[in-house]
Amino acid sequence: MPSLIPHANSSGMTGPATFVSDTSWQVYNADPALGAATSLGLAQFVCLTSSIPSTCPAGATIYGHSTGGWTSDLSSIPAAHWIWAPNINGTTTPAEFNQFFFSKTFQLNGTQPIGFISISADDLAELRVNGHIVGSIGSISDYSTATQAQAFLTTFNLTPFLTAGTNILTVRAENGPFGICCPSNYAGNPAGVVFGGFFVVPSIEVNPSRGPIGTKVSVYGSGIPSAQVEVTFDDAFLGVASLTNGTSTFTFNVPDAQPGLHLVKASDPFSKISAVANFTVTRIDTLAINVDVGTLYFPADTATIYTLATLSGAPLNATTLQLQLTLMRPDGSNVTLTTTFVGGGLFKSAYTVPTTGPVGTYAVVAKAHVANVQDSSALTTFEVKPTWLSAQAPALTTTAVALTGALAVGAVVWKRGIYRSKLD
């Protein structure tokens, strides 16, 4: 998410960066954005009297000008106070035509930063961003214009002059030849400037920032000054975000897209102010398992079962895969088989068929699980048949009985002389 961090005599902060006229502003004899400029020190608070303006801060320099002035309503910038150059008081002379440059540097990381400032001055103030003149209020030649400048706040849009990165905001203030003049001191011809404003970088955050097609994504946006913020995915319109307390929210499911980097954008269709965030579409991993076993076994045989597990074609191991094999016997009973990892995605299990069977069809059911992937299962079967001897046992028994009976009959017949010859 793009960051917004003020630099140079201001503490780091995130979100909108507000600024006001206070004693943290450096004072120069020229615009530092345009080249060489000598620092005169930090600005000081100034007041006409201890009670004018009513918000006169403790420790401010009191000019001693008792005829009133500086009536601007500062309720929209409550932390701002009137300031002027250092080392000046009510007795300093001359006061007329003195000009000073109040400057501060801001680091606006991101794209399309937005900024506004409200300002009042006695007698003239000119706003500059990165050396470019934004606008001015007041006058050093027209008393009426100068009077209006200290009685009302005027707001300027700094946005067209801001760039991503370093920005130098400078207020050039100058005192005119009004009041008790000339020459004059600051008690008779006071001077000051008061201002406040903010910078914000339009930004959005997506959560999560990666996932396959169909992933549910939440979009959080800020810094886009619009009641209608449109959200797009690779410039394909998704919908209009909901706006609450300056923060826009939107939820969507990742549409069909190739794996790789894609852009989610929130924008104001009227001002064209926008912010983008990256989303990485990942492939849909497929878990596949194959189970292999012999086709025919006899009681007391050992059936060896092999299971091959892959994730999108890549072999798995026992660390990432949860594998369960269940053997279902012909009599309806079942047993859980122990698996041993062989390597290359291959697992081995063994089952010794009891000598008592049962005979019939055995089924092996394999179930596999990998985190964040759909489970997979597989089925295979094998037959258990009786051995040849056990299968032929009834017939062999019958034959043996028949032979025994035949021999007995023959013996009886022989004994009775039926088969005796004449020689006998």
**Domain range list for the chain:** 4-200, 203-281, 287-384
**Which fold is adopted by the domain 203-281?**
Immunoglobulin-like (2.60.40)
Q: What is the pLDDT of residue 392?
A: 58
- State pLDDT tens for residues 100-139: 999 999 998 877 788 999 999 999 999 999 999 999 999 9
Measured CA to CA, the distance from residue 119 to residue 141 in angstroms comes to: 19
Q: What is the pLDDT of residue 273?
A: 82
At the top level of CATH, which class does the domain 287-384 belong to?
A: mainly beta
Measured CA to CA, the distance from residue 125 to residue 413 in angstroms comes to: 147
Q: Concatenate the DSSP letters of all residues of 136-184 into one string.
A: EEE-SS-HHHHHHHHHS-EEEE-GGG--SEEEEEEEEEE--S-SS-SS-
Judge whether 170 and 90 are in contact, CB under 8 Å. no
| Single pTM value for the model | 0.60
202-238 in b/e burial notation, b at 16+ Cβ within 10 A?
Answer: bbbebeeeebeeeeebebbbbbbebeebbbbbeeeeb
Measured CA to CA, the distance from residue 315 to residue 287 in angstroms comes to: 10
- State pLDDT tens for residues 83-104: 999 999 999 999 999 999 999 9
The answer to whether domain 4-200 has CATH 2.40.180.10 is no
Domains 4-200 and 287-384 share a fold: no
Judge whether 64 and 47 are in contact, CB under 8 Å. no
Residue 145 has pLDDT above 60, yes or no: yes
Judge whether 107 and 166 are in contact, CB under 8 Å. yes
Measured CA to CA, the distance from residue 240 to residue 248 in angstroms comes to: 9
Backbone φ, ψ for residue 390 (5° rounding): -70, -30
Q: Concatenate the DSSP letters of all residues of 51-83 into one string.
A: TBSTTPPTTPEE----S-------TTSTT---E
Judge whether 334 and 326 are in contact, CB under 8 Å. yes
Mean pLDDT (whole number) for 310-328: 95
**Unique residue bearing structure tokens 């089924």:** 363
- State pLDDT tens for residues 221-266: 988 877 889 999 999 999 999 888 778 999 999 999 999 999 999 9
Taking all residues of the chain, what is their mean pLDDT, rounded to a whole number? Answer: 88
Residue 422 has pLDDT above 80, yes or no: no
What residues form DSSP beta bridges with 232?
237, 265
- State pLDDT tens for residues 359-384: 999 999 999 999 988 899 999 999 99
